Amino acid sequence: MELNRLPELDRICAAFDCSGTWISSCPIPSGHINDTYCSEFDESGRRVKYVNQRINHLVFREPELLMENIERVTRFARERIVAAGGDPERETLTIVPTRDGKSFHRTPEGTYWRMFKYIDGARTYDRVEDIRHVYAASKAFGRFQKMLASLPGGRLHETIPDFHHTRKRYDAFLAAAEFDPSGRAAGVKPEIDFVLAREKDAGVVVDGLTSGHIPERVTHNDTKLNNVMIDNLTGEGICVIDLDTVMPGSILYDFGDSVRLGAATAAEDEQDLAKVGFDIGMFDRLAAGYLEAVRGFLVPAETDLLAFSAKLLTLECGIRFLTDHLKGDVYFKIHRPGHNLDRARTQFKMVAEMERQMGAMDAVVRKYL
Ligand code: GN1
Ligand code: MG
């Protein structure tokens, strides 16, 4: 979704409390929701980089509350990292405040901006290039969950209510398929049927949370591989980023969602479905990294569903892409016609492969418990 034209980043940067002179900004074309840029400053002859993000306030309806969450989470992470002798400038996001001491800047036009320090010597990967990164990222997400179990100060705000409420996602899909606002339903009958055949899966985790069988925890909720910065030298997952959806949830949302990309043989939007698949060897590395970090922290109601959660969250994401296709591409940014449909198809192909290998996936999880 384009909010407006390329913004004047020099003007945006001027609102934030960083020393030095602005040199340039360029887009970082990653992410389906917010707009991200990297800005360079000259600080007494030294080139220093920052990350600017325009928060999509049509998706995140209360940017103030979202930033309150991120302030709490990064402040707490910083304390924990310092106590453990780590480097807080690299192991968590550092918010650059505005000149009037706030964590975000609202422009006169009503757009919302924030700024983070750039983390040097590390990068993210939009697809798996080295299987060791899968283990490293998964371990980083596990550590992140475990750390946030002791976050003080009460429940975080729900930045998007019912974000992983799979049944509500299913219902929204049904409504889009029936109402068919863009006249696209007839062209995607196999995909619609694929979802309809899996209705019973939608309630499994949300019902467990409602009944209290599955514990509510603080979770990340968007655990794609590219939301962990991987250190260029050590290959370790040093910093979990994209904290917009850190809020109450189930760890099954996080583990499950990490599999969509972490065990995929192709990109999320690959058009050649012959290349798309679920790789049990990569799933093994995901489970190993995650359980290495959280062993002893999870309860059986959670561990019993880890393998299933991979299928469920992949299905949910496919449902969201298909729903957006049916609605005329109103939520996720698209870069070509049919982009959301391509994305939905890769997710469904992975779901089908996971269904065939669920026994093997369960065995992998049990191996690392
Ligand atoms: C969106 O914008 P990005 O790439 O961080 C979406 C996630 C989806 C993901 C699919 C707030 O994340 O839930 O899993 O696309 N974020 C939101 O790649 O809806
Ligand atoms: Mg995200």
pLDDT at residue 2 is higher than 60: no
Nearest ligand, measured from the Cα of 30: 1
Q: Ligand 1 centroid to 11 CA: how many Å? A: 28
Q: Ligand 1 centroid to 43 CA: how many Å? A: 34
In testing the pocket of ligand 1, which one of 32, 58, 322 has its CB within 8 Å of the most ligand atoms?
A: 32
Residue minimizing CA distance to atom 3 of ligand 1: 31
Average pLDDT, rounded, for the chain: 96
Q: What is residue 51's predicted lDDT score, i.e. its pLDDT?
A: 98
Same fold flag, 6-120 and 131-368:
no
Q: What is residue 1's predicted lDDT score, i.e. its pLDDT?
A: 34
Q: What is residue 78's predicted lDDT score, i.e. its pLDDT?
A: 98
Segment 191-209 mean pLDDT: 98
Q: Ligand 1 centroid to 224 CA: how many Å? A: 9
Q: What is residue 276's predicted lDDT score, i.e. its pLDDT?
A: 98
Residue 75: both structure tokens together: 């402040």
From CA 240, how far away is CA 227, in angstroms rounded?
6
Q: Which has the minimum average pLDDT: 2-6, 221-225, 244-248, 327-331? A: 2-6
Residue minimizing CA distance to atom 17 of ligand 1: 33
Residue minimizing CA distance to atom 19 of ligand 1: 33
pLDDT digits (tens, 9 = 90+) for 167-176: 999 999 999 9
Nearest ligand, measured from the Cα of 58: 1
pLDDT at residue 100 is higher than 80: yes
Q: Ligand 2 centroid to 244 CA: how many Å? A: 7
Residue minimizing CA distance to atom 11 of ligand 1: 33
Do residues 244 and 103 make contact, with C-beta atoms less than 8 angstroms apart? no
Percent of the chain with pLDDT over 70: 98
* Fold of the CATH domain 131-368: Aminoglycoside 3'-phosphotransferase; Chain: A, domain 2 (3.90.1200)
From CA 247, how far away is CA 292, in angstroms rounded?
23
Segment 300-311 mean pLDDT: 98
Segment 307-336 mean pLDDT: 98
pLDDT digits (tens, 9 = 90+) for 69-85: 999 999 999 999 999 99
Q: Ligand 2 centroid to 191 CA: how many Å? A: 25
Residue minimizing CA distance to atom 7 of ligand 1: 222
pLDDT at residue 3 is higher than 80: no
Q: Alpha carbon of 236 to those of 129, 132, 140, 176, 239: distances in Å?
A: 14, 9, 8, 42, 9
Q: For residue 208, what are the contacts with CB-CB under 8 A and spacing of at least 6?
A: 214, 250, 301, 305
Q: Ligand 1 centroid to 100 CA: how many Å? A: 31
pLDDT digits (tens, 9 = 90+) for 35-66: 999 999 999 999 999 999 999 999 999 999 99
pLDDT at residue 26 is higher than 70: yes
pLDDT at residue 111 is higher than 80: yes
Segment 280-297 mean pLDDT: 97
Do residues 300 and 153 make contact, with C-beta atoms less than 8 angstroms apart? no
Please give all residues whose beta carbon lies within 6 A of any atom in ligand 1, as ranges. 31-33, 59, 222, 224, 242, 245, 268, 317
Q: What is residue 6's predicted lDDT score, i.e. its pLDDT?
A: 61
Percent of the chain with pLDDT over 90: 96
Domain ranges of the chain: 6-120, 131-368
pTM for this structure? 0.96
Q: What is residue 102's predicted lDDT score, i.e. its pLDDT?
A: 98
In testing the pocket of ligand 1, which one of 69, 93, 246, 332 has its CB within 8 Å of the most ligand atoms?
A: 332
Looking at domain 6-120, its CATH architecture is 2-Layer Sandwich (3.30)
Three-class SS of the chain: CCCCCCCCHHHHHCCECCCCEEEEEEECCCCCCCEEEEEEEEECCEEEEEEEEEECCCCCCCHHHHHHHHHHHHHHHHHHHHHCCCCHHHHCCCECCECCCCCCEECCCCCEEEEEECCCCEECCCCCCCHHHHHHHHHHHHHHHHHHCCCCCCCCCCCCCCCCCHHHHHHHHHHHHHHCCCCCHHHHHHHHHHHHCCHHHHHHHHHHHHHCCCCCEEECCCCCHHHEEEECCCCCEEEECCCCCCEEECHHHHHHHHHHHHCECCCCCCCCHHHCCECHHHHHHHHHHHHHHHCCCCCHHHHCCHHHHHHHHHHHHHHHHHHHHHCCCCCCCCCCCCHHHHHHHHHHHHHHHHHHCHHHHHHHHHHHC
pLDDT at residue 4 is higher than 60: no
pLDDT digits (tens, 9 = 90+) for 131-146: 999 999 999 999 999 9
Which atom of ligand 1 is nearest to 317's Cα? 14
Instruction: Look up residue 335 and give its amino acid.
Output: H
Which atom of ligand 1 is nearest to 31's Cα? 4
